[in-house]
Structure 1
Amino acid sequence: MIRVAVVGTGGIASGCHMPALAAQAHRAEVVAAVDVDADRVKAFAAEHSIPAAYTSLTEMLEAERPDLVHLCTPPFLHAEQARECLEAGAWVWCEKPLALSLAQVDTIAAAESEAGPYCSVVFQHRFGSGARHLRALTADGTLGRPLVAQCVTAWFRNDAYFEVPWRAKWATEGGGPTMGHGIHQFDLLLSVFGEWSEIRAMAGRLARHTETEDVSMAIVRFANGAMASITNSVLSPREESYLRFDYEQATVELRHLYGYDNGNWSSESELWSPPENIASGHHAQLDELLNSLERGERPAVSGPEARATMELAAGLYASALTGQPVKRSDLTPGHPFYHGMNGGLSL
């Protein structure tokens, strides 16, 4: 059995991680939960029949020696907690965003070893059967060259949502809807269209009383020549997540909100025919992650894959805050936006 610990016992742990773990009970056992709130972690452990509850990550790692740690904590804690878990020999599955900067992403990567443990980030939209099928059709050229894409995260969050102290601050969340909301959709876009090369962007604070943006928009050029537009909003009363992929021979569309199955995908092409119907979500990604752990192989959305998505977020902010186009190759340790998503600037 794979020994699992859950760190952070809020809504994402209860609503997404525990149901996914329950579906893997035949090979994964939750042995411990951790939260700084003693009453909350005890209640969480009792509710989910977890044998041990801790208020210290360090103490839990020393006592339980888990194989896998689910990090369900606020973003500003991710980098240090991931590093500590990796150095203790545990694999990590971390909620998005993985870190607050590319520098922190590289710190996490440095704590991995060549043969594991590894740190993967929760980007569950990659793992539904529709996304898998589209990647396969793209890779083998069935649809022709990828040409144009639209990537829209049009969500709504009211002022009360941002009353949580760590939200929409550069130092604690790393950004606004670009980092905390739209990142799911443009990660899926990147998984299909591949490496990006250049970005031009704008960001604004139009309606919410936040430190970061509440809307961002970007145009992206990919290494293969394709181009895409990206919209990230938390001001949209009719919520929708929408992706459109235009190839030489077909258009494929995805309309959903927080998750999809095959019924959310459409195409006019007879070439579009997913062979199975697996919904996106934590369940689907955890299944793949545990497969990788059992084989001792680097899991999906870790290492360079995870970094590429964070690079796009950093490039978007760098372009928006400086008013200049940004190339992916620019984002080296000498670049101000390598060390923080706002590059030391104010919106």
Structure 2
Amino acid sequence: MMIKQPVQLLLVGEGGIAGVHMQALEPIPGVAVRGLVGGVEADARAFAAEWGIPEVVASLEEALGRDDLDAVILATPSPQHAEQAEVVIGAGKHLLCEIPMALSLADAEWITARAEASGLVCMVAHTRRFNAPHRELRRRLQVGEFHLQHLVSETYFFRRENLNMQGQPRRWVDNLLWHHACHSVDLLAWLLDDFDLEVWGSRGPDHPELGIPMDMSIGLRSRGGVLATLALSFNNRGPFGGFYRYIGEEDTFHAFRDALKDHEGQAVALTGNGFATQDQEFIAAILEGREPEASFTSCLPSMRLLDRLECAMGGA
């Protein structure tokens, strides 16, 4: 299904990541966010006013009944992704779904099958694939300029209370494995084009009120012997985010968001913003009628790795 510009978008969700998508979409020509479906009406109306979204729609089903919408961005709580994705695909709309596509392998396989059968552009926000440092190091790996020995990933947040990234109360509980570890597990597999990784891991005790493990230690090994060590914590007081150390034969690099430094702390000149590159890819795939990078199909093998990790850790 070919779409003419402007691409008419519906945004679902008014939380922190929804604002990130609005920032990423602003400079893209030929894009119009026509409506917003929010979880809390007052918050949704405030968000729509802030970003100039002309209409707040009461429900996803109501919004999808409109003929003037081409595509949907799901920026909603993780537990809702698979079910909402099915509704969007069933309505014949292109879809960009926030990471993770689902919170179980069964749901991931189920929604990927529906995405594949639809002929629509269906993409998951595996943003690490679009961050400039990771794209540059993947390029160097592919042409033989850099040989990776060990990827060390640190993912830190402070989530002892159920608050979002703005410190506001959350109505759902985040998932350290299926959401946050998904970024780094997928990153190694994508970097090496090797989704047949050996995996192992351990989890700390569950939080007495939130009912989730607050700390995890995960190990990965590729068929070629490249290691990855992932440390994840909801107990860390800061700094927050995902920090990556690429230990290689030629150098050691440090990546954070869209910045890359060598072992001496010298910045590597790069351009690009991961969220902007990601959302541009979604729009381009729609306009060009092709499969996007980070399609549901290409991300499903990483969900199988997470399932194996969950089994190895005795459930998460």
- Normalised TM-score (structure 1): 0.79
- Other-structure match for 1:171: none
Matching of residues 174-323 of structure 1 within 5 Å: 176-194=175-193, 195-205=195-205, 209-239=209-239, 241-247=242-248, 249-256=249-256, 259-261=257-259, 264-267=260-263, 276-280=270-274, 282-321=275-314
Deviation at 1:182, TM superposition (A): 3.6
Conserved? CA contact 1:116–1:297, under 8 Å: no
Which deviates more from structure 2 when the two are superposed, residues 68-77 or residues 180-189?
A: 180-189
Distance 1:79 1:288, change over 3 A: same
Distance 1:114 1:50, change over 3 A: same
Distance 1:143 1:295, change over 3 A: same
Amino acid at match of 1:216: M
Amino acid at match of 1:319: A
Give the whole-Å Cα distance in 2 for the aligned partners of 1:166 and 1:300.
29
- Other-structure match for 2:172: 166
1:23 aligns with 2:27: yes
Specify which structure has the bigger relative contact order, considering alpha-carbon pairs within 8 angstroms and separated by 6 or more residues: 2
Give the whole-Å Cα distance in 2 for the aligned partners of 1:10 and 1:142.
40
Distance 1:208 1:155, change over 3 A: farther
Give the whole-Å Cα distance in 2 for the aligned partners of 1:34 and 1:180.
22
- What are the Cα deviations for residues 193-250 of structure 1, in whole angstroms up to 9, with x where unaligned? 3324221111012766421211111221213332221111111234353322333x32
Give the whole-Å Cα distance in 1 for the aligned partners of 2:163 and 2:40.
21
Give the whole-Å Cα distance in 1 for the aligned partners of 2:198 and 2:129.
22
Conserved? CA contact 2:116–2:297, under 8 Å: no
Unaligned 5+ segments in structure 2 are: 1-5
- Normalised TM-score (structure 2): 0.86
Distance 1:202 1:160, change over 3 A: same
Q: Secondary structure at the match of 1:161?
A: coil
Q: Secondary structure at the match of 2:85?
A: helix
Which deviates more from structure 2 when the two are superposed, residues 201-210 or residues 221-230?
A: 201-210
Deviation at 1:255, TM superposition (A): 4.2
Unaligned 5+ segments in structure 1 are: 169-175, 322-341
Matching of residues 80-91 of structure 1 within 5 Å: 80-91=83-94
Amino acid at match of 2:273: A
- Other-structure match for 2:3: none
Q: Report sequence identity in percent.
A: 26
Matching of residues 24-173 of structure 1 within 5 Å: 24=28, 26-113=29-116, 116-144=119-147, 146-161=148-163, 164-168=170-174
Deviation at 1:42, TM superposition (A): 3.4
